[in-house]
Structure 1
Amino acid sequence: MALVQAGAAPVHQNLVAHNDLTVESASFKDSMRHLAGAVSVITVGRGNDRSGFTATSVSSLAIDPPSVIVSLNRESSSWAVLQRHGSFCVNVLAHDQKHIADNFAGRGGIKGVERYRDAEWQELATGTSALVNALTVLDCELDEAVERHSHGILIGRVRAVTLRTEAEPLLYWHGAYRHITAPIVSA
């Protein structure tokens, strides 16, 4: 592992692997269920070569240039489509769009372009489909895909943004969809 400080040469450290510090997959998964997250549908591809997936792991990366990070399993059918087209769209879902989250999660065996049924879509600057009436839409060009373990960390440069200001977000926490009921008021 190389640690780099600005203007300095890499410093190498010897890291010792501790097998007794291995975390069980089930424990890690249960721990991650404690992270409440906005539900997004990530769309990839164009025309009949489209797919997508539901994600709660979308994060802003930078303001200059505007960019986001999304994690995608490389075994997913969306990975190959993303590689072919080089763009993706983050559609942050509103509280009334749970059925879209279920479609893109593949509930009922729904795959590929069939995931787009039961919703209205429009093509944005990159050619990727954007959900009409999503809470917010970020149309992204793939800047880089960093392959780590089973996933690719997608870095997307945002090319267009749309907002729906009158709706609340769809949230996911402890294995279930949630919504905000009331803000916490400080004393």
Structure 2
Amino acid sequence: MNLIIRSASIDSEVSSGDFRSAMRQLTGGVSVITAGRGRDISGMTVTSVSSLSVDPPALIVSINRESSSWPLVKRYGFFGVNILTSDQIDIAERFTGKGGLKGVDRFAGARWMTCASGVPLLVGALAAIDCEVEDVVERHSHAIIIGRILNVEVSARTAALAYWQGRYVAIDQDEDAAKLAEVSVPVRKTARKV
């Protein structure tokens, strides 16, 4: 194997606004990360959850270290990932902090359960995942958290909440598949000469 090492000089830095605009083109599933125990709880809305491995089951999430959830994740060593359904926009908005709600007040108006870790998990989420912190990588303003999966609750619902171009978007497996089937152009197979 040949390795080629190149050094590149970058003449100008990319602005945070330009980077934010570029990342708005990436559609992300909307989740609420929860942390803490009892009344010492908080949570935040993210689109940064991703599967890391299936064996063993693990995921990663990136959270801002200035968030109210970060100290709770560090203190307790556990967190929840609540993947939202398309009709849970109100929960997504509540956990952004835009309305000024903090801590336990963000949890009002929804049903929550706890599993092994004691972290609140959303009843009725597409999936509610109980995680133990396995490792943390701190870079710049955020922490990348690797979570070992302790428990998973999966809903039978199929309509997910996504975020794209600064807006919430509903994605419904059944409805969207039917719409795509209506507008799809059939692919014609052509014979190839060998």
Asked if TM exceeds 0.5, the reply is yes
Are 1:24 and 2:15 an aligned pair? yes
Q: 1:144 aligns to what?
A: 135
1:16-38, Cα deviation, whole Å (9 max, x unpaired): 5x341421110100010011111
Residue of structure 1 aligned with 2:70, choices 71, 75, 79: 79
Between 1:40-49 and 1:177-186, the stretch displaced more is: 177-186
Matched, 1:164 2:144: no
| Alignment of 1:155 onto 2:146 | yes
Match for 1:57: what amino acid? Answer: S
1:30-109, aligned counterparts within 5 Å? 30-109=21-100
Aligned-partner SS, 2:20: helix
* Partner Cα separation in structure 1 for residue 10 and residue 65 of structure 2: 26
CA–CA distance in structure 1, aligned partners of residues 157 and 17 of structure 2: 38
Larger radius of gyration: 2
What letter matches 1:25 in structure 2? S
1:18-60 deviations in Å (ceiling 9; x for gaps)? 3414211101000100111111000000111100100011100
Report the RMSD for the aligned CA atoms in angstroms.
Answer: 1.8
Deviation of 1:15 (Å): 5.0
Q: Which residue of 2 aligns with 1:182?
A: 176
Distance 2:123 2:154 in 1: 10
Rounded to whole Å, the distance in 2 between the matches of 1:158 and 1:138 is: 7
Equivalent residue, structure 2, for 1:173: 164
Distance of aligned partners of 1:166 and 1:77 in 2 relative to their CA distance in 1, 3 Å threshold = closer
Q: C-alpha distance in 1, partners of 2:176/2:63?
A: 32
Q: Match of 1:45, as an amino acid?
A: G
Secondary structure in 2 aligned to 1:108? coil
CA distance in 2, matches of 1:174, 1:15: 34
Task: State the percentage of identical aligned residues.
Answer: 49
How much does 1:167 deviate? 3.5
Post-superposition CA distance 1:121-176 (Å, at most 9, x none): 00111111100000011110000110011100010001111111223101111111
Normalising by structure 1, report the TM-score.
0.88
